[in-house]
Structure 1
Amino acid sequence: MPLSEYEQRVLEQMERQLSSDDPRLANTLKHRGRRSVGRYVAAGLGAVVGLLMLVFGTAESMPVLGVIGFVVMFAAVAFAFANPHSHEGPQGVVEEDGTVRPAGPGASAKGARAPRSGKQPKAHKPGFMDRLEERWDHRREDGR
């Protein structure tokens, strides 16, 4: 069932609000789940190989092989659900999707700039949760 025009406008407004309040969270949610299929295939094969090693080690009374099989299975599942790492190239940090963001003395590992001395940080703009907390406090005060 498609959304009505009103619901689409409200959803777009919420998305814009989230992007302005917490851009890092919005970026994380936007790019979440975009892992390559090959990553899951490799992890699945690793889990199957680990399971076979575990079963074979148990059947043949070889506990070391069983432990190694369990470790292989665990590593495969961890690989499937772990965040892919980016690597730094000559122009900057190359993300998994191929985008390049600059890296240098002013950029941290996460891509955010380090605070520069002499400049004041921006004033904290109240976000969505701050406004909800204020509204809740006002309601509680009015009820007393």
Structure 2
Amino acid sequence: MPLSEYEQRVLEQMERQLTSDDPRLANTLTQRGRRSVSRYLIAGSGAAIGLLLLVLGAAGSLPWLGVVGFVVMFAAVAFAFADPHRGAKRGGPRGVVQPDGEVRRAQPARKSGFMTRLEDRWERRRGEQGR
């Protein structure tokens, strides 16, 4: 059943509000999965090999082979669900262009603590409500 015009407007308004309040969350929710099929094929093969080693270790009374099989299975599943771009640099400015055309490397942003971020959000919201 399609949404009425009023429901569509409300939904769009909620989406804009979410984007303005927490852009990182909105970006995370709108991203599509980036995992390729080959990643799942490799992980599935690794899990099958690990299961085979586990069964052979149990059947042959070789506990070390069973442990190796379990570790291989665990690593395969972790590989399947791990973030494929975890080590890659995120987008964003890499430097600042000066008026004379010289490029100066941007200083890495200092990580703020959890409480500092909460306090900053609280102050921003209080400032928005006072308008």
TM-score, normalised via structure 2 length: 0.67
AA aligned to 1:16 is R
Gaps (5+ residues) in structure 2? Answer: 96-104, 112-119
Q: Which residue of 2 aligns with 1:118?
A: none
AA aligned to 1:70 is F
Gaps (5+ residues) in structure 1? Answer: 116-120, 132-144
Q: Which residue of 1 aligns with 2:20?
A: 20
Aligned positions of 1:34-73 closer than 5 A: 34-73=34-73
User: For residues 107 and 41 of structure 1, what CA distance do their matches in structure 2 show?
Assistant: 40
Q: Which residue of 1 aligns with 2:85?
A: 85
CA RMSD of aligned residues (A): 3.0
Shift of 1:74: 0.7
Percent identity (aligned): 64
AA aligned to 1:126 is R
Q: Which residue of 1 aligns with 2:124?
A: 125
AA aligned to 2:25 is L
* Partners of 1:51 and 1:69 within 8 A in 2: yes
Q: Which residue of 1 aligns with 2:100?
A: none
* Partners of 1:106 and 1:114 within 8 A in 2: no
Secondary structure of 1:85's aligned partner: coil
Q: Which residue of 1 aligns with 2:117?
A: none
TM-score, normalised via structure 1 length: 0.62
Taking a change above 3 Å as real, the CA distance of residues 77 and 103 of structure 1, as seen in their structure-2 partners, is farther
Aligned length: 110
Shift of 1:14: 1.2
